[in-house]
Amino acid sequence: MSADRLGGLTALGAILAPLDGGGPRPEAVVERISAAIGLGVMVDGEQLPTETDLAGQLGVSTMTLREALAVLREQGLVVTRRGRGGGSFVQATPDVVQSNSLARLQTLSVEEIRDIGDEHFAISGAAAALAAQRSLSADIARMRALIARLRDATNRFECKRADSRFHIEVAVSAQSLRLTRAEVGLQAETSALIWLPQIAIDPDKEARDHEALVEAIEAEDPRRARDLAEAHSAAHLRRLVELLMELRNA
């Protein structure tokens, strides 16, 4: 399966790592696979591993996995084909991902969004500060390449992918496996929400913000890097809360 390398791990490997114990429900499997699709580490038309292999990766029973796949089929994110050459395949068109993201946002409470925002505030700030102390010239080059990809993107779907990969690369530059895994999970959970058209994020401004962060990291200024990353995270949180309130009051 295709997946971009992220330091010592892949985004796909982090997202599809075994679920926590205590009898994971099918909903948890749905969230993981939806996250991989939303982040773009599982792409449209890609075949999923066999049910036995995927269940083993996630640490769940095949019955739990089958229930999750049934939900994903209902959501339009997965299609299953029978017969020779059959199996389950990703169906991740921008319209489907956007529709599911908007529906998911409406299931969250303001408190839940703030809780997610608090976690991202802490993770992104710590990753940026450590990146300013530990990053290599190759890390800086990769981050700048992702900024260029964001500027050159021709639609919001491409913007979302470049933006989320940039944030993950900052964590990779921090040379922390745990922070990278945490950032991968948070981007998978939030990037599709942040790039909803209703929020109207300006890609050029995002690119400028990212460039300022890279400059702080390259200058080995952990305090400024942390401040910029935290401010960026807080701004996105405010926009999500505002959109949710608009939807509730419509």
Instruction: Assign residue 205 the CATH number of its domain.
Output: 1.20.120.530
Give me 79's structure tokens: 């299609």
CA distance 3 to 165: 12
Residue 24 has pLDDT above 60, yes or no: yes
pLDDT, averaged across the chain: 87
Residue 174 has pLDDT above 70, yes or no: yes
Q: Are residues 174 and 244 in the same domain?
A: yes
Q: Are residues 110 and 198 in the same domain?
A: yes
Q: Are residues 186 and 240 in the same domain?
A: yes
Q: Are residues 119 and 14 in the same domain?
A: no
Is 119 exposed, middle or buried (CB count within 10 Å of its CB: 0-12, 13-18, 19+)? middle
Single-letter code of the amino acid located at 122? A
* Closest C-alpha to 38, from 81, 90, 89: 90
Boundary of a domain, candidates 47, 67, 92: 92
Looking at residue 193, its pLDDT comes to: 86
Contacts 24+ apart (CB under 8 A), 59-65: 59/18, 59/19, 59/24, 60/19, 60/24, 60/29, 64/24, 64/25, 64/26, 64/29, 65/26, 65/29
Q: Are residues 163 and 232 in the same domain?
A: yes
Cβ neighbour number for residue 193 with a 10 Å cutoff: 22
Give me 158's structure tokens: 């491409």
Q: Are residues 54 and 114 in the same domain?
A: no
Q: How many residues does the chain have?
A: 250
CA distance 239 to 164: 17
The answer to whether 121 touches 228, Cβ cutoff 8 Å, is no
Q: Are residues 111 and 220 in the same domain?
A: yes
**Is the model's pTM score more than 0.85?**
no
Q: Are residues 86 and 162 in the same domain?
A: no
Q: Are residues 87 and 163 in the same domain?
A: no
Work out the average pLDDT over 181-190: 84
* Span 115-130, pLDDT tens digits: 999 999 999 999 999 9
Q: What CATH number is associated with residue 14?
A: 1.10.10.10
Q: Are residues 209 and 102 in the same domain?
A: yes
Work out the average pLDDT over 1-29: 64
Boundary of a domain, candidates 92, 115, 132: 92
Q: Are residues 47 and 66 in the same domain?
A: yes
Boundary of a domain, candidates 55, 77, 92: 92
* Span 67-112, pLDDT tens digits: 999 999 998 889 999 878 789 999 877 777 778 788 888 888 989 9
Q: Are residues 147 and 71 in the same domain?
A: no
Please tell me which residue, 31 or 170, carries the higher pLDDT value. Answer: 170
Q: Which domain holds residue 73?
A: 5-92
Longest Cα–Cα distance in the chain: 58
Cβ neighbour number for residue 171 with a 10 Å cutoff: 28
The total domain count for the chain is 2
